[in-house]
Amino acid sequence: MSYVNIQAALDTHLQKYSGAVIVFPSTRHRPKHGEAFLAAEFIPGRVRTVFLGADTKREHQGQYRIYVRCPDVQSALAEIDGLRRHFTAGLNLTFDGLSLRIDKTEAAPNKGGLKFTNFPLSVFWRSYFKEN
């Protein structure tokens, strides 16, 4: 069990979202003029021991950041609303025997320019697994 399975669970769930085009790292994508798209980024976070014992699972936390790129603020906010409903707090996702729970989603200020938006939406997750 590893971060690979966590990212796969999140990527798979994002692919089920019926919104803008989704772009994953290391994939070629050349956006058309005015095309809205979502760019995903996996960010591992804190690891801590929550159970006692030599052979116990550890708590892993992190973020799954989705950058919402749209030609205008209104369409970007509509995408953010849809993504927040899709990654609702308390949602449990599973991939290859590893489960994770969505804690919350938070949007940050627009980092785009005059011609496009770039709102980062962070999906905070938590999982318990034994490190190999």
Residues 115-125 have a mean pLDDT of: 95
Q: What is the extent of the structural domain holding 56?
A: 3-129
Residues 9-24 pLDDT 10s: 999 999 999 888 888 8
pLDDT over 80 at 34, yes or no: no
Helices vs strands, H then E, count in the chain: 2, 6
The partner residues of 1 in beta bridges, in order of sequence, read none
Residues 47-67 have a mean pLDDT of: 85
**Per the structure, how many domains does the chain have?**
1
107: domain CATH number is 3.30.2000.20
For the chain, the distance separating the N- and C-terminal CA atoms, rounded to the nearest angstrom, is 7
Please give the Cα distance from 101 to 131 (Å, whole number): 18
Q: Sorting pLDDT into bands at 50, 70 and 90, what band is 131?
A: confident
pLDDT over 70 at 28, yes or no: yes
Percent of the chain residues past pLDDT 70, beyond the cut: 97
The count of residues in the chain is 132
Answer yes or no: are the C-beta atoms of 23 and 38 closer than 8 Å.
Answer: yes
